[in-house]
Chain A
C-alpha cells in the first residue's frame, strides 16, 4: 500500500482545521499514512453562511494557536477573505478552489461543472432538505427554478469511505427534480493535496 512519507520522519504534530465534508476521507488518509496530524472539523454547511464560517474558522485557529499548536487548514477558497485569515493565523491551506477539486482534480471538476453538474457528497446528501430549505426557503417551485437555472443533474461522488447513501442521494435528486448520476472516486488526488499542505506547513518555521 503506497504511503506518503513526510519529512522530517519524526514530524512534529500538526492540527488540521477544516471542513467536515471530507472528514471520513481525511481521517482515513491520516491513519493510513501515519501522519502526526490531529483534526478539528467544522460543520460542512458553513460554506452557505460566510459570516459564520469566518467566525468559526478564526475562532478554531485562534484556540489552537493559543495552545501552542501548529495548524494547517483544510478549506478551499470558500470565503472571500480566506487568504487574509490564513495570513493572520500564520498558517496555510490545502491547494484547490474547493473540496470537489481536492477530491477529483480541477480538470474533471470543470468538465462536469460545464456539463451542468451539481456535486453531491455523502455529508450533504444526508442533510439535504434542511440545508437547502434553510438557504432557499420552503417554496419548492422557487428552489427547483434556482437549481434548474444552473444545473442539469446531480452528480453524487462516492468514495471508498462512504456508507451507503444511495437513498439519501435519490431523495435529494427528487427534491430538486434533477436526474442523479454517480461517479466513484478514489482518494489518490486528495491524498496528494493533504500531503502537500502538511509538508508545506511543516517546512514553515512559525
Chain B
C-alpha cells in the first residue's frame, strides 16, 4: 500500500501537479496512515526516489526539482500540525546565496528538503555578506551556515564562503558552526568546496539536506 502511495505521489510531483500530490496525501491519511508516517514513510522516501529519477532523466527540468522540494516542504508543514507529539527539531541552519549572487532557485530546493527532514531553516535571501551569515548564525544559535553560489566568482568571492570561514576561525566558532556550500560551480569541480573554505558540499537538494543534518549532529555531539 505504501509503495503505491509513493508511486502516485511521485507521478503527481513529476507532473508538477501539487494538487494531485496533496490528494494522494489526503487519501493516505484517510486510509489510516498517520501524519508521522506520511512524512517519514511517504514524503521523504518519495523525495529521494524523485530526485534520483530526475537526475537520471535527460529531459527533466528545473521545475521538477523545484516542485519536488516545494511540495515536500508544504506537505511536511501541514503534517507537522497534526503530529501527536511536536516533532523533535533536528537543528537549525542559516541559508543564503553568496555575496553578489542573486540566484535563489537551488537554495529554495534545498530549503524544501531540509524542512522535510525536520531542520529549522532561516533563509537570509540573496547577496548575503559573510558578516551577515555569521551574525545570523550566532543570533539564531544555528549549527550550520549553508551558502549557495551559482557562479564560480561568487563561490570564491572575497565576501563569500572563504570569508565566512575566516570569520568563524577569528571568532573561535569553528566547533560550534559548520559551513556547507552548494551550487553549479561545485558540481563541476568537486574539490572547489575546499578552496571555498567549507566543511562539506552537496550536488543536489536531498544530499544537501542529509549533509547538513550530519553536520548538525557533529556539532551537537
Contact = CB atoms under 8 A, between A and B. Distances in A.
Given A80-B188, A114-B127, A149-B108, A137 B152 contact: no
Interface stretch (A31-39, A138-146, A175-183): A138-146
B218 to A, nearest CB: 28
A176 to B, nearest CB: 13
Q: Interface residues of A toward B: which range?
A: 20 to 34
Interface in A35-94: 50, 77, 79-83
B189 A80 contact: yes
B152 A135 contact: no
Contacts of A81: 152, 188-189
A1 interface: no
B97 to A, nearest CB: 10
Contacts of B67: 139, 142
Given A114-B127, A146-B66, A135 B61 contact: yes
A203 interface: no
A150 B104 contact: yes
A146 B63 contact: yes
B102 A137 contact: no
B66 A113 contact: no
Residue from A80, A114, A145, A150 with most neighbouring chain B CB atoms (10 Å): A80
Nearest to A143: B63
B152 A82 contact: yes
Q: Interface residues of B toward A: which range?
A: 20 to 34
Interface string B43-71: 00000000000000000011110110010
A80 B185 contact: yes
Interface string A125-139: 000000000111101
Contacts of B18: 141
Interface in A4-31: none
Contacts of B104: 149-150
A142 B16 contact: yes
A135 B184 CA distance: 15
Interface in A153-171: none
Given A82-B152, A142-B66, A149-B108, A136 B61 contact: yes
A139 B16 contact: yes
Contacts of A136: 61-63
B185 A139 contact: no
B121 interface: no
A77 B63 contact: no
B11 to A, nearest CB: 14
B6 to A, nearest CB: 21
B152 A83 contact: yes
Interface in B116-142: 126-127
Interface of B: 15-18, 61-64, 66-67, 70, 102-105, 108, 126-127, 151-153, 155, 184-185, 187-189
Interface of A: 50, 77, 79-83, 97, 113-114, 134-137, 139, 141-143, 145-146, 149-150
**Nearest 7 pairs between A and B by C-beta?**
A80-B185, A137-B63, A136-B63, A139-B16, A80-B188, A80-B152, A142-B63
7 contacts: A80-B152, A137-B61, A137-B64, A139-B63, A139-B67, A141-B18, A150-B126
Given A80-B151, A81-B152, A146-B62, 13 more contacts: A77-B152, A80-B188, A81-B188, A82-B152, A97-B153, A113-B102, A135-B63, A136-B62, A137-B61, A137-B64, A139-B15, A145-B70, A146-B63
